Structure 1
């Protein structure tokens, strides 16, 4: 049976053809562990668990990875408010996340990378973006230059000029383009 998936880039349903026959990989952006998970946090993980199970049912060997964004201002603010280390906050709420997912019968994925364990990789990637002209530094902050990527907005189906016209936030005047982001 052919599996059809919606391709956001083409805006069409297309046959799922894995890069490696018989294998499928899933990467899901996980939670930022600064509070207990809620239904909005759970929905994507339930959805991807169902997709994972379906792919296995169809005979695929599935590699499923889901990160924890364990470096974030919300985590630091929560830690400061409670007078504890940021790692204590992360540990508490990652444990809470697993308790909730277990109650929802969401299976554990194979790999849970943590942002905090990949800081050198992130620094190298950001430096490569700067070196290749895709990002720039202003007052110690790094911004991605959306104009350097001609297809920016193609996933959402929106034109850069339309996004700019609909912006509802105050623009940082240090940016080269109001749509650039840190």
Structure 2
């Protein structure tokens, strides 16, 4: 019996099919490890555990990747609040994540990449987006320019670019942001005092949240894969 999954692009449940017969590539966005897991995390990973189990039971060869976001504003903020090392905080919360998921009898993924292991890939992808005219540098870092691809924005999420624009309310000018448009999002954040940084063509800084899963999923699967999931 085939499985039907909700396709966010078509806004409907569709019969699942794979790019390669008998094989499934599945990437599920993982936790940002600034704290212990909560009920929402349990709900998300239990849902994909059911899909994972069904696919394997049905005879598919499943390659399941789930990342850890181990560098982020929330991690830095929590480490500063507690006066601890952000790397220690990350390792502690990853360890408790495994404990929590094991307690729920959730099968482990095949790979658990960490964002900090892929910074060079993120820099390369960001530079490629700049070269293609989809991103630009400011004194705050590098931003993806949504209006560079208006026909593609929101295809998977169902967001309407005009509706997003109408909700701006003048926030860009009020906040002093150097973004061209309030919708644009950070691919690279310039260094700030007391934050971890990496060298880049745009000066020291760290990757933005939006580019991280792009780099990790492309490393494991290439430009396309069968299932991309996450929390809601």
RMSD: 1.7
Alignment deviations for residues 65-99 of structure 1 (CA, whole Å, 9 cap, x no partner)? 00000011211222222232211000110111111
- For normalisation by structure 2, the TM-score amounts to 0.73
Deviates more, 1:90-99 or 1:12-21: 12-21
Q: Residue 134 in 1 paired to residue 134 in 2?
A: yes
Deviates more, 1:136-145 or 1:58-67: 136-145
SS of residue paired to 2:185:
coil
Q: 1:142 to 1:4 in 2, by over 3 A?
A: same
Residue segments in structure 1 that go unaligned for 5+ positions in a row: none
Taking the aligned partners of 2:81 and 2:27, their CA distance within structure 1 comes to: 32
Structure 1 counterpart of 2:166: 165
Structure 1 counterpart of 2:66: 66
Residue segments in structure 2 that go unaligned for 5+ positions in a row: 187-232
* 1:136 Cα deviation after fit: 0.6
Deviates more, 1:130-139 or 1:157-166: 157-166
Taking the aligned partners of 1:24 and 1:152, their CA distance within structure 2 comes to: 26
Structure 2 counterpart of 1:176: 180
* 1:169 Cα deviation after fit: 8.3
Taking the aligned partners of 2:12 and 2:47, their CA distance within structure 1 comes to: 20
* Count of residue pairs the alignment pairs up: 182
* 1:128 Cα deviation after fit: 0.8
Asked which structure has the greater RCO (Cα within 8 Å, sep 6+), the reply is 2
